[in-house]
Structure 1
Amino acid sequence: MTPASLPSAFDPYCGAPPVPGELLAAWNGDPVLAAALFLAATAGFWLLRGVGEGGARLWHAGAMLALVAAFLSPLCALSSALFSARVVHHLLLIAVAAPMLALAFPKRRPGGTALLSLLVAVHLAAVWFWHAPQPYEAALSGDVTYWTMELTLLVSGVLLWRELTAPAAPVGRVLMAHLTLIVQMGLLGALITFATEPLYAPHFLTTVPYGLSALDDQQLAGLIMWVPAILPYLLAALLALDGVIRDGFGQKGQAV
């Protein structure tokens, strides 16, 4: 902890909450994590050698950059101070890195309605559970619980996105899954936004240097989860629907 850091009753993995003046220097210097990300990036590029025209490698590179932003950049430290930054951090995992990894390492065939429904349920359970006040507090109180939170969000997200982006996946099933995700993410965001009192104890004392009360920060986090968080799912649903429409027109053109 640097002298300017804010005192906290919690011990988050990303370190003591920084004040604004020290934020830009608050990069995560954990050598184990940096080495793990480097090995993951190297292994991914090795597995993708000679694949297609490089699209998969670009998706993999984008995913690794998102993980670096989430875990090594000052965003990690900022998420110790602001719950809204924590929500952005989690969105980088489940709505940016996860779909990019799914596109880099796609599933070759869909697994069926039951598997997709199960993955939607598991992923949403992880999102709801880790954004409830008590589990969230536990995650910021010890590294084991913190990494359990991060890995369950990321891994469940990757598995779900691989199923959603599998070739020949029935569009109706995919659209219903996206609709469920949009509704549930929006509901969670609304509940956080309209709460009348601060819910997340790790941020009761850490938001003021950023010009926010704990409740202001919480409402901002809810709005981020309510609106920006649903955009990747909405975009993916529209792209799936567009593919069906284009295929339909193509078949009509061939028939003519």
Structure 2
Amino acid sequence: MDTLALVSLSMHMVQHLILILIVPPLIILSIPPEIGSLLLRNGGVRAIAQTIFTPVAVFIIYNAIFVGWHVPGNYDLAIRDQEVHALEHVTFVLSAILSWWPVYSQQPEIPRSTPGMLMLFLFFMSLPPTVIGALLTFAGYVIYPSYEAVARPWGMTAQADQELAGLIMWLPGGLIYFGVLTVIFFRWFNRPGDDSAV
């Protein structure tokens, strides 16, 4: 996948969706609560974690990283330099773990947010990929010059590849956020008074 991602923006977007929307929830759900409790036993660590793992804080942290890496200069640097590319992916995964924590937390010390807060949070989380996806789709010019100079699979032009990348970020990315939001809504709607999320 990494080889394709270096020559195809659309394949790179598929890779990013996997790293941001699929891997982090699986990591969170795989952490035994006992291990988390052990790590959070220290009062100072717990206080910092309780401050960071809030919807507002993780929204700011995650989207600063997400949007920052999609600035053309940063993105092209990640394509040209494998160490920077690895850093991009590590920061995507770590910040995405933060962003999914309020939704999927199993830690009593840092519980899931309330359904109302989560629905609002997920709606706002869907906006940055929607805006960037729409920009990639409708820009009318190639935003990332690194992709102009490479031979792409399937004979696609750099412009067509970028438009497909934008649609991948915009539609499947947005659908995942709205899918989780919908599940939370119906669970909340069917259990009035229950403060649990997904």
Answer whether TM exceeds 0.5 for this pair: yes
1:101 correspondence with 2:27: yes
1:89 correspondence with 2:15: yes
Q: Is the 8 A contact 2:102 2:112 kept in 1?
A: no
1:182 correspondence with 2:126: yes
Give 5+ residue unaligned stretches, structure 1. Answer: 1-74, 251-256
Question: After superposition, where does 1:130-149 map in structure 2 within 5 Å?
Answer: 130-149=69-88
Greater than 6 Å deviation, 4+ residue runs: none
Partner residue, 1:230:
174
Deviation track 1:111-168 (CA, whole Å, cap 9, x = no partner) reads 4798321111111121111122110111122232112211110000012111222355
Higher helix share: 2
Deviation track 1:203-233 (CA, whole Å, cap 9, x = no partner) reads 1032455221111100100011110111221
What amino acid is the match of 1:224?
I
Question: Which of 1 and 2 has higher RCO (CA within 8 Å, sep 6+)?
Answer: 2
1:156 correspondence with 2:82: no
Q: Is the 8 A contact 2:19 2:92 kept in 1?
A: yes
Task: Look up the SS of the partner of 1:229 in the other structure.
Answer: helix
Query: Aligned residues: percent identity?
Result: 25
Deviation track 1:35-70 (CA, whole Å, cap 9, x = no partner) reads xxxxxxxxxxxxxxxxxxxxxxxxxxxxxxxxxxxx
Alpha-carbon distance in 2 for matches of 1:238, 1:124: 22
Give the greater-gyration-radius structure (CA). 1
Partner residue, 2:40:
none
1:214 correspondence with 2:171: no
Number of residue pairs the alignment of both structures matches: 176
Q: Is the 8 A contact 2:8 2:152 kept in 1?
A: no
Give 5+ residue unaligned stretches, structure 2. Answer: 38-48, 106-110
Alpha-carbon distance in 2 for matches of 1:149, 1:136: 9
1:244 correspondence with 2:183: no
What amino acid is the match of 2:25?
P
Alpha-carbon distance in 1 for matches of 2:126, 2:82: 30
Deviation track 1:80-117 (CA, whole Å, cap 9, x = no partner) reads 11000001000010011011112222778x94798321
RMSD: 2.4
Aligned pair in 2 of structure 1 residues 177, 112: CA closer, same or farther (>3 Å)? farther
TM-score normalised by length of structure 1: 0.63
Q: Is the 8 A contact 1:113 1:173 kept in 2?
A: no
Partner residue, 1:125:
64
